[in-house]
Amino acid sequence: MRRSTTLLTRLAGAVAGAALAAAALVAVAGPARAATLTQVTGFGTNPGNLTMYAYRPDGLPAGAPAVVLLHGCTQNAAGYVANSGWQKYADQWKFALIVPQQSSANQALSCFNWFSEQDIARGRGEAASIAEMVGYAKSTYGLDGSRIAISGLSAGGAMVAVMLATYPELFAAGSVIAGVPYRCSPPAPTSTCQYSGVDRSPAAWGDLVRAAYPGYAGRRPRVAIWHGTADSSVVPANAVESRDQWTNVLGVAQTPTSTASLPAGTGLEVYGDDAVRLYRVSGMGHGTPVDPGSGVDQCGTATSYFLDTICSTYRDALFFGLGGGASPSPTAPSPTPTATTSPTAPPTVSPTPTAPPTCVTASNYAHVAAGRAYQSGGYAYAVGSNQRMGLYNVFYTSTLKQTAPGYWVVGC
């Protein structure tokens, strides 16, 4: 056995997710599909002794994007894909899922070892294994290497921070759900990180990330942070410290440039030019936010450590830029504005154009008011294609083209 388990007693109630049945492979209702979550072997030297799974939806085009998903403790790859809602959007918007799985041989609770020196450095252990999976998927599946994102819960969320720090060139964006900053532990004890939080300056947190890949001068991934305000397993102070870390790394201030109120008592703070997002879900405990239902912005299954509040997966998919590559299911309704800061808008989209194509140039505010677009997190998105148009205000102007009833794309 390659791991010491002396820290596991404290971890047991802290970053755990429910153990999930293998039958949870089926994530969304609908007709039977050929695509399944499949184990992949031979992806590399695998120094971290992890298992790789991949999900490629039917009709996945060449040059598609992908999302890496990291489960929480006691969870597995199949259960996390099934209950988080990611398969729904992978099917609709045609992107692949790369899903590493931890084992009890590495860590008794199947937690990713975010606190182990041998696993959180570039070129070593579990971090290197995950990087090998990404490289294998890019070359084997023909993915667009500039559009790879990563998301994870709890221990998986902490490992997301590890990957963003140690392999920034691999990822366009990441989402840390109920996690901790990179290198909170070590040097601090894991219990201190989880139950109290560690207070460092933004510069000190940022220096830890910069030291993970000395000399790196390339683009840094954008980061979303999710945390429940009632999380007692990984205290909400970690969300603030993560915010401080990644705003410093990305060179933006710790003062939000915009805020919004979203469903389920969720507050959103946006930093810089949408470089960092912080979502605080009021009253939510420890888990991934989901919102079961058939709506465009609904997803997931409410169960242990998947908490019925708001569909974080939908918001992250848009943040990752995945909604513009393909149309959602034709049976799904068009997206609607969700932030309470948006003006009252007609409930229906523009009428069918009399002579295609119809092109409209207007402010993003006017597009939303007319139903050609919707707004989320201070940005406007085209109805149908979900392409991001820029800031949601009266000063930012966009041109939209209607290509079908209720379907708009950017440009004309």
| The 3-state secondary structure of 108-132, one letter per residue | CCCCCCCCCHHHCCCCCHHHHHHHH
Residue 353 in this model has a pLDDT that exceeds 90: no
Average pLDDT over residues 271-283: 98
Query: Is residue 83 exposed (0-12), middle (13-18) or buried (19+ Cβ within 10 Å)?
Result: buried
Predicted confidence band at 354 (pLDDT cuts at 50, 70, 90)?
very low
The candidate with the shortest Cα–Cα distance to 205, out of 176, 237, 174, 242, is 242
The candidate with the shortest Cα–Cα distance to 130, out of 91, 109, 158, is 158
Stated length of the chain: 412
pLDDT at 385: 72
For residues 242 and 124, state if they share a domain. yes
Is 0.95 surpassed by the pTM of this model?
no
For residues 278 and 404, state if they share a domain. no
Average pLDDT over residues 269-294: 98
- Higher pLDDT pick, 385 / 118: 118
pLDDT at 194: 97
For residues 144 and 229, state if they share a domain. yes
Q: Taking the chain, what is the end-to-end CA distance rounded to the nearest angstrom?
A: 60
What is the spatial order of strands in the sheet that 373-376 belongs to? 373-376, 379-382, 388-391
Residue 381 in this model has a pLDDT that exceeds 70: yes
The last residue of one of the domains, among 320, 350, 376, is 320
The candidate with the shortest Cα–Cα distance to 378, out of 361, 366, 364, is 364
Predicted confidence band at 400 (pLDDT cuts at 50, 70, 90)?
confident
Distance CA 314, CA 226 (A): 13
Tell me if 186 is assigned to some domain.
yes
Average pLDDT over residues 380-399: 74
Average pLDDT over residues 255-280: 97
For residues 260 and 394, state if they share a domain. no
3-state secondary structure of 105: coil
Predicted confidence (pLDDT) per residue in 365-374, tens digit: 777 777 788 7
pLDDT at 380: 78
Supply 183's token pair.
């290198």
Query: Is residue 180 exposed (0-12), middle (13-18) or buried (19+ Cβ within 10 Å)?
Result: buried
Residue 97 in this model has a pLDDT that exceeds 60: yes
For residues 250 and 390, state if they share a domain. no
Q: Which of 25-34, 279-288, 392-401 has the highest mean pLDDT?
A: 279-288
Tell me if 249 is assigned to some domain.
yes
Write out the H or E segment, with its range, that includes residue 260: strand 258-262
| Containing structural domain, residue 85 | 37-320
CB atoms within 10 A of CB 354: 6
Radius of gyration of the chain (CA): 20
Tell me if 26 is assigned to some domain.
no
Cβ atoms of 236 and 253 within 8 Å: the answer is no
Tell me if 5 is assigned to some domain.
no
List the CATH number of the domain containing 291: 3.40.50.1820
Predicted confidence band at 263 (pLDDT cuts at 50, 70, 90)?
very high
Q: Tell whether the torsion through CA atoms of 364, 388, 338 and 236 is positive or negative.
A: negative
The pLDDT > 90 percentage for the chain reads 70
The pLDDT > 70 percentage for the chain reads 81
Tell me if 203 is assigned to some domain.
yes
Q: Position 34: which residue type?
A: A
Distance CA 296, CA 318 (A): 12
pLDDT at 409: 77
pLDDT at 404: 67
The last residue of one of the domains, among 302, 320, 338, is 320
pLDDT at 361: 84
Predicted confidence band at 5 (pLDDT cuts at 50, 70, 90)?
very low
Tell me if 325 is assigned to some domain.
no
For residues 241 and 379, state if they share a domain. no
CB atoms within 10 A of CB 282: 13
Query: Which residue is catalytic, options 116, 154, 175, 312?
Result: 154
Lowest mean pLDDT among 202-216, 283-297, 312-326: 312-326
Tell me if 127 is assigned to some domain.
yes
pLDDT at 327: 32
Distance CA 183, CA 117 (A): 9
Lowest mean pLDDT among 12-16, 179-183, 201-205, 312-316: 12-16
The candidate with the shortest Cα–Cα distance to 175, out of 193, 152, 146, is 152
pLDDT at 367: 77
Residue 243 in this model has a pLDDT that exceeds 80: yes
For residues 128 and 241, state if they share a domain. yes
Residue 25 in this model has a pLDDT that exceeds 50: no
Residue 377 in this model has a pLDDT that exceeds 80: no
For residues 126 and 185, state if they share a domain. yes
**How high is the mean pLDDT of the chain?**
85
For residues 157 and 265, state if they share a domain. yes
For residues 204 and 266, state if they share a domain. yes
Supply 376's token pair.
């989320």
Tally of domains in the chain: 2
Average pLDDT over residues 391-403: 75
Lowest mean pLDDT among 232-236, 257-261, 351-355: 351-355
Supply 214's token pair.
């000395």
CB atoms within 10 A of CB 247: 23
Taking CA atoms, 389 is separated from 318, 385, 398, 409, in Å, by 12, 11, 7, 9
pLDDT at 346: 33
CA 72 from centroid of its chain's CA atoms: 14
User: Can 312 be counted among the known catalytic residues?
Assistant: no
For residues 313 and 387, state if they share a domain. no
Residues 6+ apart with CB under 8 A from 338: 262, 263, 297, 374, 376
Lowest mean pLDDT among 141-150, 259-268, 365-374: 365-374
> Residue 358, by phi and psi: left (phi above 0), alpha (psi -120 to 50) or beta?
beta
Residue 227 in this model has a pLDDT that exceeds 90: yes
Cβ atoms of 375 and 339 within 8 Å: the answer is yes
Supply 165's token pair.
């720090």
Q: 């939000």: which residue's tokens?
A: 256
In 337-403, which residue ranges form alpha helices assigned H by DSSP? Answer: 364-370
The last residue of one of the domains, among 320, 343, 374, is 320
For residues 104 and 217, state if they share a domain. yes
Cβ atoms of 328 and 98 within 8 Å: the answer is no
3-state secondary structure of 100: strand
Tell me if 4 is assigned to some domain.
no
Q: Which of 17-31, 320-334, 359-373 has the highest mean pLDDT?
A: 359-373
Predicted confidence (pLDDT) per residue in 61-89, tens digit: 999 999 999 999 999 999 999 999 999 99
pLDDT at 311: 98
